[in-house]
Amino acid sequence: MIYLTLFWEYFKIGLFTIGGGYAMLPLVTQIVTKHGWMTEQQLIEFIGVAESTPGPFAINLATFVGNTVGLSTSLGVFGGILGSLVATVAVVLPSLIIIMIVTGLFGKFQSNKYVKGALKGIRPVVVGLILSAVFTVAAKVVLPDFSFKNIFAGGVSRFNWISLIIMAAFFPLAQIKIKGKKIHPILLILLSAAVGIVIFGTLGAQQ
Amino acid sequence: MKHNATKTNTDQGRQVSLWQLFVTFFKTGLFTFGGGYAMISILEEELVAKKHWITSRDMLDMLVIAESTPGVIAVNTATSVGFRMRGILGAIVATLGVVLPSFVIISALSYVINAFADNTWYKAAFTGVQACVTVLVVNAFIKMFRQLESGWFSALMLTAAFNVALFTDFNVIFLILIGGASGILYSLVADSVSRRKGRKLPLENSDIIDGERSDDGENRQSGGDE
């Protein structure tokens, strides 16, 4: 039964990838090609879509893979929805269980000497990971061909200076307080979408 | 650095309804793009600044849990916060909330999704959004950075993790494990050193800081505008 296979494969992906959604990519590629659910090309095309549609990247991907698998069955549209549901639940389920246990234990052992010590080391590591994400995300926007993992490969010829200006303009916007309140990040995102439509759509600036 | 919302979270947690949890995480899921880091800014605004459900320090600790466990970081953060607020049901509701927008959007648009994402206007809007998301990740970094203890040890761990994560393909879980082990080692050494010098233990010092924080509970209003 294809849904069981889908569930089991995505359950394993959810269980064995640490480091967030992008770390799942190699495993997802492996399973969809192994079972012949999708070609690698189809998957690569959808990665761009999953990044630009709302929602966490990995969940978008799981929903899409599940949908494609489900549509191939005799159930049609209903099969697609069922497939999405199966893949999404399967990828979320392992961490749901693990996190509940860990968060519960964390509350209990928070004041333990060793847990406290370990946290002292892990907290700065996590903040370091966020800082590295800052650079990766910024490079993706401003220098789309550049990779920090391969800095000598160049990839600096495409430089999106307009995006850089938008970033520079939004940074102070994200800091200022109006009547003691910061502008809500969701409002900033909506505003940036409007700015994008005007600058890149209406005025036709190079993306 | 201001500290707000210092009441114990379990006390506040009882006031949070499952519906509120669901709506908050649905909103967060809807406006998360790409990886999960930009959502930290949204969660900070929703959970810390507006609703005082948790503190920024709690936020960092939940990120620690989300990073150290398998799965999608955005989802893990939702599960962790939900569980903290309302137990098992809270974890399920928050997870459902953060996942549902993806599920609905991708399922509904499955036939046209490629055309949709290729649309000129959508692309233009998304290019703008990407720039904003970068700014939000920068803000998330600043917020979380402020929650760290100062000192050479934090600086060293941060710099090392940053460089390794950015320039190499080294697995994140090993960074976390090395971080944890170094933290324990550092605390033990720092303990024995200060014991020999007859000073206060660093671990106890952090307790004192915690104590100070709970003293300024009445400053909650003024600190809450952060």
Whether residue A84 contacts residue B107, with contact meaning beta carbons closer than 8 Å, is answered with: yes
Choice among A110-124, B108-122, B179-193 with the minimum mean pLDDT: B108-122
Predicted local distance difference test score (pLDDT) of residue A163: 92
Percentage of residues in chain B having pLDDT higher than 70: 80
Which residues in chain A are contacts of B181 at CB distance < 8 A? Answer: 118, 121
Please state, in angstroms and as integers, the Cα–Cα distance from residue A191 to each residue in A195, A207, B204, following that order: 6, 18, 46
Q: For chain B, what are the domain ranges? A: 1-147, 149-226
Q: Do A99 and B91 touch (CB under 8 A)?
A: yes
Tell me which residues of chain B, numbers 147 to 206, contact chain A at a CB-CB cutoff of 8 Å. 147-149, 153-163, 165-169, 171-173, 175-176, 178-188, 203, 206
pLDDT in tens, A29-69: 999 999 999 988 888 888 888 888 889 989 999 999 999 99
C-alpha distance from B51 to closest chain A C-alpha (Å): 13
User: Which residue, among A162, A144, A164, A163, has the nearest Cα to A154 in the 3D structure?
Assistant: A144
- Give the strand pairing for A181-182 and A177-178: antiparallel
pTM above 0.90, yes or no: no
Tell me how far apart the alpha carbons of residues B16 and B105 are, in angstroms, rounded to a whole number: 27
| CA distances in angstroms from B142 to A14, A81, A181, listed in the order given | 30, 40, 17
Mean pLDDT of B192-196: 86
> Quick one: how far is CA B15 from the chain centroid?
21
Question: Which of B94 and A154 is assigned the larger pLDDT?
Answer: B94
B102 CB contacts (<8 Å, ≥6 apart)?
A53, A54, A55, A56, A59, A60, A63, A88, B29
Task: Report d(CA A120, CA B157) in Å as an integer.
Answer: 10
Cα–Cα distance measured from residue A103 to residue A100, given in angstroms and rounded to the nearest whole number: 5
CA dihedral B187, B162, B28, B76 (to 10 degrees): -50
Q: Please give the pLDDT value at position B139.
A: 93
Amino acid B175 reads L
CB pairs under 8 A between A and B: 398
pLDDT at residue B201 above 60? no
Alpha-carbon torsion, ordered B51, B52, B55, B59, to 10 deg:
-20
Hey, are the CB atoms on B128 and A46 less than 8 Å from each other?
no
- Angstrom distance (rounded) from CA B22 to CA B15: 14
**What's residue B199's pLDDT?**
57
B108 versus B134: the higher-pLDDT residue is B134
The predicted structure's pLDDT at residue B211: 41
Confidence of residue B107 (pLDDT cuts 50, 70, 90): confident
- Which chain B positions have a beta carbon within 8 Å of A103's beta carbon? 62, 65, 79-80, 83-84, 91
Cβ–Cβ gap B27/A186 under 8 Å? yes
Q: Tally Cβ neighbours within 10 Å of residue A175.
A: 12
Q: How far is A85 from chain B (nearest CA, A)?
A: 8
Residue of A nearest to B156 (CA): A124
Mean pLDDT (chain A, rounded) = 89
Neighbours of B199 (CB within 10 A): 11
Q: Longest Cα pair distance anywhere in chain B, in angstroms?
A: 70
